[in-house]
Amino acid sequence: MGRRGRFVTLDHRKMPASATKRQHHAPCRGRNGHPANVLYTNTPPGIRRMADRQLLETFPNPHPDRNYLITHTAREFTSLCPVTGQPDYATMVFSFIADKLCVELRSLKQYLQSYRSDGIFYEDVTNRITNDLAAHCSPRWMMVEARWSLRGGIETTITVQIGNPSIVPPRTL
């Protein structure tokens, strides 16, 4: 198993022995000097599916002349911790004022599900999703809020906003 090119059997699949070892992605150091950006994965490089923004679909905004707030909430977002490989869970809240296009919900769900096998940090995934939605829909204003579940006694919320917030209509209770 020490030589390159040899294969091991894991989960009834053949894969290179190197695929079962830690993959170092950046020189960042964590506790005790161990690499902080280590992805634990049993999936060989090149097979791991990355989130694909081409999954996103749009439809014409039925009222492009009006500034109205659209809010979508996805309570079952999952990605993987890039350090431990453990699943991370979040509630994603998408608020936006559409210009000419709106995002189609089925495609948004499929796009979010494509992150299930990605080892990615909270900050990175929130910004990537914001960038992908903005590229596809070109909203007048958008805010993506990722409310991550408790891990190690710490709750984390990442909020990314693009556009001019002065056009957001005031919320009423």
User: Where do the structural domains in the chain lie, given as residue ranges?
Assistant: 13-48, 49-167
Classify each residue of 113-132 as buried b or exposed e, where b means 16 or more C-beta atoms within 10 Å of its C-beta: ebbebbbbbbeebbebbbeb
Q: Tens-digit pLDDT profile for the chain (173 aa)?
A: 444 444 333 444 444 454 444 444 444 444 444 444 444 444 434 334 567 888 999 999 999 999 999 999 999 999 999 988 899 999 999 999 999 999 999 999 999 999 998 899 999 999 999 999 999 999 999 999 999 999 889 999 999 999 988 888 877 54
> Out of 11, 88, 99, 137, which one is annotated catalytic?
88
Q: What letter does residue 133 receive in the DSSP assignment?
A: H
Q: Where are the alpha helices (DSSP H) in 19-161?
A: 105-113, 122-137
> Out of 28, 65, 81, 102, which one is annotated catalytic?
81
**Catalytic status, residue 118:** no
**Residues 93, 71 contacting (CB under 8 angstroms):** yes
- pLDDT confidence of residue 50: 65
Retrieve residue 93's tokens: 């809240």
**Catalytic status, residue 88:** yes
What number of CA atoms fall less than 13 Å from residue 54's CA on the CB side? Answer: 2
Overall pTM > 0.85: no
- pLDDT confidence of residue 141: 96
**Residues 39, 21 contacting (CB under 8 angstroms):** no
CATH code of the region 49-167: 3.30.1130.10
